Amino acid sequence: MVFDPNKIEKIREKMSEWTKEVVEPVLKKFPERKREFLTEEGFTVKRIYTPVDLAEKNWDYLEKLGFPGQYPFTRGVYPTMYRGKIWTIRQYAGFGSAEDTNQRYRYLLSIGQTGLSMAFDLPTQLGLDPDHPLAWYEVGKVGVSMPSVKEMEIVFNDIPMDKITTSMTINATAIEVLSMYIVVAESRGIDRKVLGGTIQNDILKEFIARNNYIYPPYPSMRYATDAIMWCAKEMPKWNSISISGYHFEEAGATPAQEIAFTLADGIEYVKWVIERGMEVDKFAPRLSFFFAARTNLFEQIAKFRAARRMWAKIMKERFGAKKPRSMMLRFHTQTAGVLLTAQQPEVNIIRTTIQALAAVLGGTQSLHVNSYDEALSLPTEKAVKLSVRVQQVLAYEAGIVDTVDPIGGAYYIEWLTDELEEKAWKIIDEIEKLGGMVKAIEIGYPQREIAKSAYEYQLKVEKGEIPIIGVNVFVEPEEPKIEVLKVDPAVRERVITRLKKLRSERDNEKVKRLLEDISRAAEKDDENIFPYILEAIRAKATLGEISSVLRDVWGEWRAPEVF
């Protein structure tokens, strides 16, 4: 589409007349209405947007927009989007022991959740069995304890693993945990090739923002790419990685930083797998992404659109992908946990509804809505039920699924999308100059940039420049008490007792041999360690035992001073 300069000039003239005749008299009468509005990214928001804002950047409007399900996927990755099937309602859950988590999963499914999302405790994430001294106070606290295949078996008791998809938020021990899932499925006669779901397996974001890593960057990247390559061959319905921007946002990243750091991580994973000899179209269709949704509705919608368009261009032009699915940025969204407040917690329901709306209008494939009480504790059943109901109201009552990309083409949205894309490309270019994301992490570039953004945001909150209901505006002197969920301390003993029993009943000589096989495979750069870990898990080796072997070969990472 070519913009007619004469028509654009006429629009400018009408804008000028409108400003002079209508707006300026109002501003003289009410000078406070001159105040400036900024997005979270820091963009100055104009009073109104018109086709001029698109023409000034020489946009080829129709080409950039395109159609849903077609390159560059600005308007969505599927042609029918939610008219055919709504997004997967996938509430993140898991706490205590396997029994507690199984009970919560079955409750969520009974009230309408359509996919599972597993949370693991810190010992599981860091490769420690629950009887390790460092694990003692954290067993079952922020997720389910998962030291062995026995726990996985209990978690999925009476849950049809071949009929529901499962997402696992696990990174440094992703292969061990997925192996447990595979072994449990096989014990029920379910072939791993029919299993659907996702392992997060994104170790780069751990080094940048979340810090639940074990090994140094290079062996960690080898571990992650081993999983990507093995799953591409052995589990055609499984997403072998969820490249995560969510944790950047939670640590303080701006929307443009969230896009840029996430896609830069994606570039690094793709480069590594290709360099190891796998063609891009063999594994790229099963790469997935994970973003946060904040409360600034329009900027968040634009963020998702920009990221989708950028990834399509990266895969097509940089990596030569041929399959359309290799170019699709398919993503899960979680509402922003960092924006939940302990003050007036019921207001969080309103915040998360707006955030969920942004995710849906932005074209998400699955969605978790945070519970209103999560600033105080793990969510109660009442709270998680309300979170599921938020998604169901959006899906069945709000009318936003009736047409594909109902907000596409709005002048403000398209302007924001382009501004975010332009800013994100600059950040990616800077990372490329540093030698890629692994090199950038080693010198602390993304860590410093996120810390700086977080500090600047917090200053604005404390000065009252960013209003937060209940925190710095509309504050109430006394907060009502609400019910909170507490993890039973007996969980630790329950899990450890089962673990001891498992160790006493298994073939320990066989486990020892299989752990030695893992050690030898880890020493060879050209060996994929996934099948060796799978066999060890099948023989009832524990997560902590396998991680200990890998620690001996690869060492542990101690982050450098970057500030």
| Torsion region of 134: left, alpha or beta (phi above 0 gives left; psi -120 to 50 gives alpha) | alpha
Asked if 95 and 122 count as a contact pair (C-beta separation under 8 A), the reply is no
pTM above 0.75, yes or no: yes
Q: Mind giving me the DSSP string for 291-309?
A: EEE-S-HHHHHHHHHHHHH
Q: Is the pLDDT of residue 553 over 90?
A: yes
Q: At what angle do helices 445-463 and 411-433 cross, to 10 degrees?
A: 140
Q: What is the rounded CA–CA span in Å between residue 234 and residue 351?
A: 41
The token pair that represents 30 in the structure block? 């009410």
pLDDT of residue 9: 82
247-250 contacts at long range (C-beta below 8 A, 24 or more positions apart): 247/205, 247/208, 247/209, 247/210, 248/205, 248/208, 248/209, 248/446, 248/450, 249/291, 249/292, 249/294, 249/336, 249/338, 250/209, 250/292, 250/336, 250/337, 250/338
pLDDT digits (tens, 9 = 90+) for 93-103: 999 999 999 99
Residue 238: helix, strand or coil by DSSP?
A: strand
Average pLDDT taken over every residue of the chain: 94
Query: What pLDDT, on a 0 to 100 scale, did the predictor assign at position 24?
Result: 87
pLDDT band at 3 (very low <50, low <70, confident <90, very high): low
For residue range 255-282, what is the model confidence (pLDDT) as tens digits? 999 999 999 999 999 999 999 999 999 9
CB hemisphere CA count around 328 (13 angstroms) = 22
Tens of pLDDT, residue by residue over 318-349, are 999 999 999 999 999 999 999 999 999 999 99
Mean pLDDT over 47-59 rounds to: 73
Whether residue 327 contacts residue 73, with contact meaning beta carbons closer than 8 Å, is answered with: yes
Mean pLDDT over 459-475 rounds to 95
Percent share of the chain, pLDDT over 90 = 83
Q: Is pLDDT at 431 greater than 70 in this prediction?
A: yes
Over residues 373-394, mean pLDDT: 95
Summarize the confidence of residues 218-222 as an average pLDDT.
97
Q: Domain map of the chain by residue range?
A: 5-61, 66-75+85-446
Edge-to-edge strand order for the sheet containing 238-239? Answer: 92-93, 116-118, 166-168, 197-199, 238-239
Region of poorest pLDDT, from 30-44, 53-67, 327-341, 448-462 = 53-67
pLDDT of residue 1: 47
Exposed e or buried b per residue across 64-92, where buried means at least 16 C-beta atoms within 10 angstroms of its C-beta: bbbebbeebbbbbbbeebbeeebbbbbbb
Q: Does residue 59 have a pLDDT over 60?
A: no
**pLDDT for residue 444:** 94
Percentage of the chain beyond pLDDT 70 is 97
Produce one character per residue of 352-371: b if its CB has 16 or more CB atoms within 10 Å, e if not: bbebbbbbbbbbbbbbbbbb
Could you tell me if 242 and 191 are in contact, meaning their C-beta atoms sit under 8 angstroms apart?
no
Instruction: Give the pLDDT of residue 2.
Output: 54
| pLDDT (tens digit per residue) in 487-497 | 888 889 999 99
Whole-number pLDDT of residue 124:
98
Domain 66-75+85-446 matching CATH 3.30.70.20: the answer reads no
Q: Please determine, for residue 4, whether its predicted confidence score (pLDDT) is greater than 80.
A: no
Comparing C-alpha atoms, which of 352, 348, 376, 253 is closest to residue 307?
Answer: 253
Assign 15 a pLDDT band (cuts: 50, 70, 90).
confident
Q: What is the mean pLDDT of residues 186-214?
A: 97
